[in-house]
């Protein structure tokens, strides 16, 4: 998860993370649009042979990122953010630069999904770490995020 108009550092993290997760055999799921962190994560994942990417789109008919293998069209607007996090075993946020990503992190915590914040601003990590019941890890980079991913799997 991350902004559609992300800073370059967060796009780089997302691209690296997408690639590392795909190398470990994870399916990479994003908001599916051809912008920012979503696009970068799936571009990274699709560098890996045999990878699989899922894009959960907010509308009924828009074109997904060209790096999306399977487009799920929800027509839920920002309500699709809840589907994104519910469908994820672990939620990674590359930066929390805007309210869309903030809503996904909040909904992930609310739904009991483990969350990894990758290089968040200090105000963001401080806030989310203050919430009761949050299963959150804060890491400085994509490599650390990928390294701990498997340890965060809940046993659904």
Q: Which of 24, 111, 140, 153 binds its own copies (CB under 8 A)?
A: 111
Q: Give the span between the Cα atoms of 2 and 55, in whole angstroms.
A: 13
Q: Which of residues 37-66 bind its own copies (CB under 8 A)?
A: 52, 54, 56, 60-61
- 45, 28 contact by CB (below 8 A): yes
Interacting stretch for its own copies, rule CB under 8 A, among 15-23, 35-43, 91-99, 138-146?
91-99
DSSP 29-61: EE---SSHHHHHHHHHHTTSTT--EEEEESSSS
Q: Give the span between the Cα atoms of 115 and 89, in whole angstroms.
A: 9
148 binds its own copies (CB under 8 A): no
Residues forming contacts to its own copies in the complex (CB under 8 A) are 27, 52, 54, 56, 60-61, 70-79, 81-83, 86-87, 97-100, 102-103, 106-111, 121, 123-124, 126-128, 130-134, 156
């Amino acid at each position: 998860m991350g902004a559609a108009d992300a800073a370059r550092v967060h796009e780089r993290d997302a691209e690296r993370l997408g690639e590392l997760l795909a190398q470990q055999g994870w399916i990479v799921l994003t908001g599916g649009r051809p912008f920012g962190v979503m696009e970068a994560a799936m571009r990274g994942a699709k560098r890996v042979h045999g990878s699989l990417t899922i894009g959960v789109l907010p509308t009924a008919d828009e074109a997904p990122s060209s790096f999306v293998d399977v487009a799920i069209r929800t027509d839920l607007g920002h309500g699709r953010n809840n589907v994104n996090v519910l469908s994820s075993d672990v939620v990674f946020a590359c930066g929390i630069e805007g309210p869309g990503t903030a809503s996904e992190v909040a909904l992930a915590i609310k739904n009991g999904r483990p969350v990894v914040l990758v290089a968040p601003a200090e105000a963001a990590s401080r806030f989310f770490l203050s919430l009761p019941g949050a299963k959150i890890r804060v890491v400085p980079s994509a490599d650390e995020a990928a390294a701990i991913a498997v340890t965060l799997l809940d046993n659904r």
